[in-house]
Amino acid sequence: MSIFLVTDGTAISYTDWGTGQPILFSHGWPLAGDAWAPQMLFFASQGYRVIAHDRRGHGKSGQPWAGNNMDQYADDLAELIEALDLKDMIMVGHSTGGGEIAHYVGRHGTARVAKMVLVGAVPPLMLKTEANPEGTPIEAFDGLRKGTATDRSQFFKDLSMPFYGFNKEDAKVNQGLRDTFWRLGMQGSIKAEYDCIREFSEVDYTEDLKKIDKPTLVVHGDADQIVPIAAAGLKTAKIVKGAELKIYPGAPHGLAETEAEKFNADVLAFIRA
C-alpha cells in the first residue's frame, strides 16, 4: 500500500504491483481497491503493471468532509495517473468506478489511455427520468441514503445479498464475499459514502461517454439487481463509438468476483486483441 497526497491534501491510498503496460482499476461503491484482488493477482502474473486506488473517503484513503463528488474523484485520479506517469493504460471501472473513469476522460481526455473496460458500470444515468424511463426511481436511492445514514453496518450486510445475486432462489451463498463486502464498506467514511450515492445515481455521464475514443469493452450481467442493464450497459454500448458489449447471462452486479475466471479471461483477450 502506498499513499499519494492530492492538491487539497487528501491522502489517496493505492496498490501498485508489477511491471509492463499499466492497468488501472477503479472500484464500486461502497468498496475499495481491494475488491479488485482477483484481477490484481491475475493480471500482474500475466506481465502487467496493476494499480488500484481507494477513492477519497473510501478504504484506507483520507476522509475529508467535503469534495466527495465525481468532479473531484476524476481530478484525484488524474493527479495520481500523472504522478505515476501512467501511459498507454487500460482503465477498468466497476459500477461507480465506471462513472469515475468515464468522467476522467470527460475532464482530462484520453492521451494516456489505450483501452477502457466498463463492468456493471453506472453510466450513462441510473436515475429514472422522463428521458430515461429505464432508470431506477429516486426513492430507491433515498433508501440507500437512509440505510447508510442510520444503520450502515447492518445495511451493508443486507446489501451484499443482491450485490452478488445471493438472494436468488438457486444461489449458493459465498459468506466470505459477503464478509469482505461488509469489511471494505465499513472502512470508508459514512459521510463520503452518503455523498457518493448522489454521484453514482444522479450524475449524467452521457457526454463523458461520447468523448471516449479508445477501444471499449462493456461487460454487464443481465441479472444485475444494483445497476440494471437496460439503463446502463445496453445504452453505454450504443453511445461509445465502436464499443464491444459482453452480456453475462444470470450474472449479478459483482460479477468480477463471482465470475472472476471468465471475466479475467475476457478482459485479457480484449487487451491483447
Q: Could you list the active site residues?
A: 95, 224, 253
Q: Are strands 22-26 and 89-94 parallel, antiparallel or unpaired?
A: parallel
- CA 104 – CA 236 distance, rounded (Å): 16
Q: Report the chain's terminal Cα–Cα distance, integer Å.
A: 31
DSSP symbols for 31-46? --GGGGHHHHHHHHHT
- CA 260 – CA 263 distance, rounded (Å): 5
Are the C-beta atoms of 22 and 47 separated by less than 8 Å?
no
Q: Which three cell numbers stand for residue 266?
A: 475476457
Backbone angles phi, psi at 129, to 5 degrees: -135, 175
How far from 47 is each of 18, 19, 22, 266, 267, CA to CA, in Å? 7, 6, 10, 16, 14
Q: Is 248 exposed, middle or buried (0-12, 13-18, 19+ CB in 10 A)?
A: buried
- CA 126 – CA 232 distance, rounded (Å): 7
- Alpha-helix residue ranges (DSSP H) falling in the chain: 37-45, 70-83, 96-108, 138-163, 175-187, 190-201, 206-210, 233-239, 255-258, 260-272
- CA 147 – CA 271 distance, rounded (Å): 38
